[in-house]
Structure 1
Amino acid sequence: MANRRLPMRKIKEVLRLRFECRLSEREIARSCQISRTTVTDYLRRATIARLNWAEAAAFGEVQLVERLFPVIHLVKEPSSIQRPVPDYEYIYDQLRAYRKFNLTLTQLWLEYKEKHPDGYQYSQFCDLYRHWRGKLDYVMRQEHRAGEKAFIDYSDGLSILDPSTGELILTQLFLAVWGASNYTYAEASLSQTLPEWIGSHRRSLEYFGCAPRVLVPDNLKSGVSKACKYEPELNPTYTDMAEHYGCAVLPARPR
């Protein structure tokens, strides 16, 4: 069932609260006792119609309906007509750059239509942009300051042969990597026990010739007794070692 149109008095109240009182959409919805989606729809229509509160207040019901709900006459167009393609990268960059100023797709569509009057209508413009954005390969980038963090973890190492038994023993590869430069120290050990863990830290810091401000270990039992997203519990020996070298320990958050 289609949504009913709001009474004209309530539509005007939505516009007044937005343009004159500067309320947020959430506050308007609560004040008018309507859904936030409805508020968004009417404000979008007002933006497309380039309607301000002074005009809306002076309009009668018929005039306001004509501005907010224009009758669209569909004309079948030849398939050969090519509409100007929106600059998706520009739209994406603008939305990111002016996010704190609440820049919206509606405003960018109005800018697009001003340049290309024969361009896509709002709904198709949004669909095309969202389709393009959905194909982006998002990568989480982390920026690190020099000397700030070293990331600590273990990986599977090479297998070594026990000459007395002929057994292949898988080693544990200790890795310490500086966040800013990716400068890396690696050594193989036979286990991930606490003595091996502390010893590998000591040798890595001796190799680097300095200590970082922060050690970021994975949640290995040797370093983190209890993994927790907010309050991890560190091994006391590991805490003492960090204090000795003047480091802080911030374990990686568990996945």
Structure 2
Amino acid sequence: TDAVLEQLLYPKLHNRSNRRMPDYDYIRKELLRNGVSKKLLWTEYIEDCRANGDEPLMYSQFCYHIQQDEQKHRATMHIKRKPAEQIEVDWAGDPAMIIDPDTGEIIKAHIFVGVMTYSQYTYVEAFLDMKQRSWIKAHIHMYEYFGGVAKILVPDNCKTAVIHNGKRKDQQINQTYQELAEYYGTAIIPARVRSPKDKPNAEGTVGNISTWITAALRNEQFFSLAELNRAIRKKLLTFNQKLFQKKEGSRLELFLENEKPLLSPLPATRFELSDWKTATVQFNYHISVDKMLYSVPYEYIKKKVDVKITDNTVEIFYNHNRIASHRRLKGRPGQYSTVTAHMPEDHQKYLEWNG
């Protein structure tokens, strides 16, 4: 073989390969530290070789071998996606613009993007902010647009999805976001911090959305969010129907054929966004929520309770057990919603007295 011929014909050249090679694992770790350079590590490597009687590599060869080792660690893997398995969600970097019809002020509209990872079928909607309410609404509308729910949801590490407690590993899903996931029967697996390859479809589609939707609407003027979203919906339909460059069909065709039949069905009713508050039960066995009063069993007087408030209901919990539920009152402040069973026995008897 060539290797044997080289050893026979050029023994001196062959012996050069006996030079001591760098410790690649050690070098990789050290280069991550502040102020450590390849030149410094090479100097330390030469001193170590001389102390042990080994022949060192020259600086250019030292750098070459380190570069070859680095390339091995940059290997990427193509992960085959399964239909209806996961959706990647994110906010697009470039906002759209709305003009206030009264003041002429230009307002930024933030673009939410949701992508089915298998077909790359996309949902896009504009919101005036990136707060919790907008984030949850975007997911509800996205599931209705897709007509079903995927098994996994992959969001970015934004505050509306993940609560950061200072430590990278010590992160938990936002409570309202977790409720949404449980309601729709999906699992939330956030992408790692600064790891865009954890959600490559969303990252790639964000760039396409910026070109084919946001930039395509740059010369049009919009005076309301509804008007902007109608224009986005038209562009979105065209975007999903565009043929792929490197494979057959379009996002829409691939979604309808392979993914939509496998999606979990939507619940009978929409998820209701809830707010959580803490309240103390008063001596009249009621709590106050937004200037309205709701009863709880009188045994809980002066106890602190958790209150879950949606647009239509008020639910009251003590130690994670629901103790009362009311239809939410609307209109003039100071109204009472009282359940007779919550009252002490003598109070109930008083109600039975007639004139």
Relative to the length of structure 2, the TM-score reads 0.34
Q: Larger relative CO (CA 8 A, sep 6+): 1 or 2? A: 2
Relative to the length of structure 1, the TM-score reads 0.47
More strand by share: 2
